[in-house]
Amino acid sequence: MSKNENISNSEIRSDWDVIVIGGGPAGSTVARYVAEGGRNVLVIDGRESIGSPLQCGELVPTNDEMRRLCPDVPDFEDLLQTPKHAISLRTSEMHLVPPSGKPLRFPFDGLMLNRIVHDEWLVELAKSKGATYLTGTRVESVEGESVRLHNGRVFTARVIVGAGGHNDPLRRSHWNEPSLKIPVKFVLMNGDFGDAVELHFGSMAPGGYAWMFPKEGGANIGVGIQNKFAKGRSLNLFTDDFVGRYEGEVSYRGAGSLPMSGTINSFVKNNYLLVGDSAGMVLPSNGAGITIAMIGGRIAGQAIVNHLDNGASLHEYEYEWKRQMGSVMRNSKRAFRLGSWIMRLPDWLINLLFNPLTKSFVWSFVTCRKPFIIF
């Protein structure tokens, strides 16, 4: 039996109030709030152990930073209860580094997670509220109220949630809106890397950025690029070059894909909802997706319970998301569009643009505040 599974496929009932595809931060948060609202919910995840293998830079803002970043989102204490054992290190500064290597330094209260432990904990939290998990089984298709697994079993539910990440099967079959996806590669390296988070911009990561996020006894180091700006050079080469700037033994290599065009136009169709990466809930200007997926997950979970209990429209989820996160996402999209253009400039010009006079503008891009009113 897998780590996250406590019940076998054949023992599970067939009919549910809610089925959630994917038990990552988005899906497990939806499940937690649906179960808390008294409704039965089944989470189906293709991974044997949710969270593994690692596909993440592992950085999240603290709750205080989240309050500053997303001022319209209520009660972070309830939503983000990251336990101590899921935190590797607390960061004190963020360095935004142009090609010259001379950083602009900002105070930044961040948490470096043990992401695998973090996601396992979210699963346990949802289970403790009453959610059921079926792991190691992929969803093949969704039609009407039916969810068909690769092994042929079919489950039904009144509401079906696509929280399967950037390649979610519900999104693929029932939405045709494209999203820009940035390929990302990263390593875990052993060593001592201080406690400042580094984001690097310029030709080392065309159209994206590179990062060094310190952890207890090591660092998470990676690169994300837009292939169309890479002039035929592969992501492997960019990653090898950037990782080669740091000294230490590489203990793990990972890869993934980040949706970077922001949220799609509509997350709700009939009895279907999309949450997290599948709905584009990543802030494109800084790649933050974990906490943003959880904000979406809470709103979706509560809207589903209100729908099932009181007949409220599932579109309440979209209205509430826009109220809480609309302006943050809009600013982040604008910043990313402008940033993508700036990051195609020659390195010497980017070096000039990162100076004490522009420092506050640069910071407002990364933190999704309104940099200018014209974009």
Ligand X SMILES: Cc1cc2nc3c(=O)[nH]c(=O)nc-3n(C[C@H](O)[C@H](O)[C@H](O)COP(=O)(O)OP(=O)(O)OC[C@H]3O[C@@H](n4cnc5c(N)ncnc54)[C@H](O)[C@@H]3O)c2cc1C
Smallest CA-to-CA distance from 202 within 163, 160, 173, 245 is with: 245
Interface segment toward ligand X; rule CB under 6 A; list 50-58, 126-134, 245-253, 263-271: 50-58
Interface with ligand X, residue 277, by CB under 6 A: yes
Q: Does 30 bind ligand X (CB under 6 A)?
A: no
Q: By CB under 6 A, tell whether 219 contacts ligand X.
A: no
For residue 198, state whether it binds ligand X (rule: CB under 6 A). no
Cis omega (within 30 of 0) for bond into 53: yes
- The count of chain residues that interact with ligand X, using the rule CB under 6 A, is 40
User: Is residue 165 involved in binding ligand X (CB under 6 A)?
Assistant: yes
Q: Site for ligand X (CB under 6 A): which residue of 206, 208, 276, 371?
A: 276
Q: How far is the CB of 41 from ligand X (least distance, A)?
A: 15
Counting contacts by CB under 6 A, is residue 184 touching ligand X?
yes
Instruction: Determine, following the binding rule CB under 6 A, whether residue 24 of this chain makes contact with ligand X.
Output: yes
290 binds ligand X (CB under 6 A): yes
Nearest residue to 272 (alpha-carbon basis) of 171, 121, 341, 139: 171
Work out the number of other CB atoms within 10 angstroms of the CB of residue 197: 25
366 belongs to the binding site for ligand X (CB under 6 A): no
Side-chain-side CA neighbours of 69 within 13 Å: the count stands at 25
What is the smallest separation between the CB atom of 361 and ligand X, expressed in angstroms?
Answer: 23
Stretch of 51-59, 261-269, 341-349, 357-365 contacting ligand X, by CB under 6 A: 51-59
Q: Which is nearer to ligand X, 246 or 361 (CB)?
A: 246
The reply on whether position 208 binds ligand X by CB under 6 A is no
Q: Does position 210 bind ligand X by CB under 6 A? A: no
Of the ranges 53-61, 237-245, 302-310, 335-343, which one interacts with ligand X (CB under 6 A)?
53-61
Q: Which is nearer to ligand X, 12 or 353 (CB)?
A: 12
CB nearer to ligand X: pick between 164 and 214: 164
Query: Is residue 169 at the binding interface for ligand X, with CB under 6 A as the rule?
Result: yes
Q: Is residue 162 within the footprint of ligand X (CB under 6 A)?
A: no
Applying CB under 6 A, does 36 fall inside the site for ligand X? no
- Among residues 266, 257, 275, the alpha carbon closest in space to that of 19 is found at 275
57 binds ligand X per the rule CB under 6 A: yes
- Which is nearer to ligand X, 38 or 143 (by Cβ)? 143
The only residue of 19, 26, 223, 366 in contact with ligand X, by rule CB under 6 A: 26
Q: Which residue is nearest to ligand X (CB)?
A: 289
Residue 222 or 371 with smaller CB distance to ligand X: 222
Q: How far is the CB of 347 from ligand X (least distance, A)?
A: 24
Pair type for strands 41-45 and 59-61: unpaired
Q: Does 41 bind ligand X (CB under 6 A)?
A: no
Binding-site ranges for ligand X (CB under 6 A): 21-27, 44-47, 50, 55-60, 138-139, 163-165, 167-169, 184, 186, 222, 256-258, 276-277, 282, 287-290, 293
